[in-house]
Structure 1
Amino acid sequence: MHFTSEQRFDDGVLEREFTLGEIPGILWTPASTSARAPLVLIGHPPLGLRKMYSRLAERARHYVAEYGFASATIELPGSGERPRWAAVEQARADLRRAMEADEPVGGEIIDALVLPLVEKSVPEWQAALDALLSLPEIGGPVGYDGGVISIGIRLAMVEPRIVAACFFAGSLVPAAMFEEARQVTIPLQLLLQWDDERNDRQAALDLFDAFGSKEKTLHANTGGHTGVPQFEVDAGARFFARHLR
């Protein structure tokens, strides 16, 4: 891990950009602390860190300033400043064509879009987790927040250092991930926009039902894809406060 920039904010948050090999990332930590902080990994859709920055930074800085957590994210394969990924670009084009034609999005398109991303990105998240937990200011335990939900499912299934997760519901989930969801047993909170024009409500509810966790909570709010209420940021933080301390 190589830090490339540093910025200190008035709310007591230190933001550092880093690279891990070819992978860019951002780390937010308390600017001054005597204790090693729990860590929240913040997932995001494959739109690029620069485009997603304001939304990611809002959540991360809230976690740091109000709860003393460290927060970090990394660029997904084929996104942002990373090299283009031809197979995934083709799958995205197929998805756009189906949606523009108002056609059902078939399982083949979903698998081609999501499964390669899961296979490549999960080991990268684990490598980032290794590097982050080696820093003297971060001590765990670890939570996972956000989407792509299939990446979060796989991480929650294979990574024992992640002890709680707050997922954003999405219906573009390969059928194979439902079986993996049944093997996820950590505490979960699932955020669902009830009127989400991009996601199928029933598919999201079916996935929630599939999770094997004894403690799982569904937060459903009226509104579309971008209408997540502001109070859900603090609801997620309180969820992690219960499980990371």
Structure 2
Amino acid sequence: MRFTSEQRLDDGVLEREFTLGEIPGTLWTPESAAPVPLILMAHNNGLPKGESRLVARARHTAAYGYAVAAIDAPGCGDRPRSAADDQARADLRRAMQAGEPVDEIFESFIGPLVEKTVPEWQTTLDALLTLPEIGGPVGYSGWTAVGIRLAVTEPRIAAAGFFAGGYVPLAQREEARQITIPLLFLLQWDDEGNPRQRALDLFEAFGTKEKTLHANMGGHVGTPWFEVDDGNRFFGRHLK
């Protein structure tokens, strides 16, 4: 892991850009002399680690007392992307906007992306846990499909918060039954990109006995800011 830049932000959080092989990432850490728990924060496919909503959540969470890390998934952010990936994203957006079936497009594009992204998160986790300012345990927050795979394959993940997605690859819908860690599931009731009933069915499928559903009115990007604070308290119960 090589840090390429750092800056102290107004809220006292230290923001550092890093590279790990081909993986670009950002690490936010609080003003604390003691090692702190780590939260991996993943955005949905195609959105960069520098997207404003993710950065705002990461800074607020770091100020709360956690180390927070985000990376760009393969083909996302500034990483090279193929014409086929761009076409798949365009086809997916067009079909969803038109109300057409998207399962086939979704499986062919998102399924392989999950397979490529999860090992990179595990490689990043290996490197982050060697830093003296990070003491574990580890939480996960964000993209549901990647989070499900991490929750069932990575024993270092102790708790997870998912931003509800009705569209999750079939493999992850099956893996959801294997999840046993505490889970917070956020659902936007009027999410134009994720069918409500699919999200509710997914919540029911999670195998853990300790799962909480927070549903709020509004569309995909309308998650109330207070859910960030609720998420921090959720992680506080399980990571501190």
TM-score (norm 2): 0.96
Question: 3-state DSSP class of the match of 1:49?
Answer: coil
Aligned to 2:129: 133
Q: Please, which runs of 5 or more residues in structure 2 have no aligned partner?
A: none
Contact 1:12–1:65, Cα closer than 8 Å, also in 2:
yes
Aligned to 1:103: 100
Aligned to 2:56: 58
- Give, as a single letter, the amino acid of the residue that structure 1 aligns with 2:40: L
- Displacement after TM superposition at 1:79 (Å): 1.1
Aligned equivalents of 1:151 and 1:17: distance in 2?
22
Question: 3-state DSSP class of the match of 1:182?
Answer: helix
- Give, as a single letter, the amino acid of the residue that structure 2 aligns with 1:55: R
Deviation string for 1:18-39 (max 9, x for gaps)? 01111110000123x2211100
Aligned to 2:112: 116
Contact 1:167–1:190, Cα closer than 8 Å, also in 2:
yes
* 1:142 maps onto 2:138 in alignment: yes
Matches within 5 A, 1:178-193: 178-193=173-188
Matches within 5 A, 1:25-64: 25-31=25-31, 33-45=32-44, 46-50=46-50, 52=51, 54-64=52-62
Aligned to 1:156: 151
Aligned to 1:93: 90
Deviation string for 1:32-77 (max 9, x for gaps)? x221110000010222233x1x2122212222212x1100000011
Aligned equivalents of 1:244 and 1:34: distance in 2?
18
- Give, as a single letter, the amino acid of the residue that structure 2 aligns with 1:62: H
- Among 208, 213, 220, the alignment partner of 2:208 is 213
Q: Percent of aligned positions with the same letter in both sequences?
A: 69
Question: 3-state DSSP class of the match of 2:209?
Answer: coil
TM-score (norm 1): 0.94
Aligned equivalents of 1:21 and 1:156: distance in 2?
24
- Displacement after TM superposition at 1:179 (Å): 1.1
Task: State the 4+ residue runs in structure 1 displaced beyond 6 angstroms.
Answer: none
Aligned to 1:224: 219
Aligned equivalents of 1:171 and 1:85: distance in 2?
26
Matches within 5 A, 1:1-12: 1-12=1-12
Aligned equivalents of 2:201 and 2:140: distance in 1?
21
Aligned equivalents of 2:40 and 2:23: distance in 1?
15
Q: Please, which runs of 5 or more residues in structure 1 have no aligned partner?
A: none
* 1:241 maps onto 2:233 in alignment: no
Question: 3-state DSSP class of the match of 1:77?
Answer: coil
- Displacement after TM superposition at 1:176 (Å): 2.1
- Displacement after TM superposition at 1:93 (Å): 2.7
- Displacement after TM superposition at 1:151 (Å): 0.5
Contact 2:49–2:55, Cα closer than 8 Å, also in 1:
no
| CA 60–177 in structure 1, closer or farther in 2 if over 3 Å, else same | same
Aligned to 1:21: 21
Contact 1:88–1:112, Cα closer than 8 Å, also in 2:
no
Aligned equivalents of 2:95 and 2:38: distance in 1?
39
- Displacement after TM superposition at 1:86 (Å): 4.1
CA RMSD of aligned residues (A): 1.3
Aligned equivalents of 1:27 and 1:21: distance in 2?
16
Contact 2:35–2:133, Cα closer than 8 Å, also in 1:
yes
Contact 1:77–1:85, Cα closer than 8 Å, also in 2:
no
